[in-house]
Amino acid sequence: MRFLYFDCFAGISGHMLLAALCDLGIDQNIITGLPHRMKMDDLDAVLITRECHALRGLELQFPNANGTGQRTLSDVTRIIDAADLSDPVKKAAGRTYRLLALAEARVHNSTPELVKFHEVGYDQAIAGVTGFFAAMEALGWPKAYSSSLVLGNGLTHAAHGVIPLPGPAVMEILKGKPVRFIDLEGETVTPTGAALLAGFADFGPCPEMIVSAVGYGVGAKQSLDRPNMVRVIMGEGRE
């Protein structure tokens, strides 16, 4: 049986997780061609080799991303359902956005149907979430596990005003999941990163396996005390 283990020693975002999967060796055209298959022809997806604290990895960028507008869950679902992708990929992406909508509804005293997505509703975020599952499909839908998640602290400006870190939606999504706070001011776990792992991976120790590949996904922000990367380990073993 094929396993994946997400080693989240610094933090996670949806783009970091997807970049790490690409670094395992899948055909990168699956991701760079994703905007066209999702009818986002004004969007480009680029994978760049980067060094972070002297470690090499891949960073996923959307250089001409347009971060405007607000979308509801039904808006995002229509975009995903219209994509030229398999049903399992579209259903998994839809479940992730449902999880995001439930968290936002709880935080803002609303309903999942009425929630307005801000950053997580942009084209690049939808492509990143959907691309995560396109990569999982390319890997044969391995069984996924994750380490505990490290959380920073402080305040940040969001569409609704000043909010505490970790973001309230992130904390809703991570209920029942193992986390640990570190002495670092800033966001370490994004809503899409939290939703992808909370909805798809089991949290716990790395299973026994024969390692076949290791991938590193690099985040856009730089940190002085640790590499802003997520590591994914792939191997074969018995459940």
- Rounded to the nearest integer, the mean pLDDT of the chain is 95
pTM: 0.95
| pLDDT score, position 18 | 98
Question: What average pLDDT does this structure show over 73-82?
Answer: 97
Question: What average pLDDT does this structure show over 66-93?
Answer: 94
Which residues form the domain of 93? 2-236
Residue 193 near residue 220 (C-beta atoms within 8 A)? no
- Whether residue 224 is predicted with pLDDT greater than 70 in this model: the reply is no
Number of domains in the chain: 1
| pLDDT score, position 168 | 95
DSSP per-residue letters across 135-166: HHHHTT--EEEE--EEEEEEEEEETTEEEEES
Residues 6+ apart with CB under 8 A from 19: 47, 57, 58, 59, 60, 215, 216, 217, 218
| pLDDT score, position 64 | 87
Q: How far is CA 62 from CA 22, 45, 49, in A?
A: 15, 5, 14
In this prediction, residue 238 has a pLDDT band, given cuts at 50, 70 and 90, of confident
Question: What average pLDDT does this structure show over 124-148?
Answer: 98
Alpha helices (H) along the chain: 14-23, 29-32, 34-37, 73-81, 87-107, 123-138, 168-173, 191-200
| pLDDT score, position 159 | 74
In this prediction, residue 58 has a pLDDT band, given cuts at 50, 70 and 90, of very high
Residue 45 near residue 123 (C-beta atoms within 8 A)? no
Tens of pLDDT, residues 23-33:
999 999 999 99
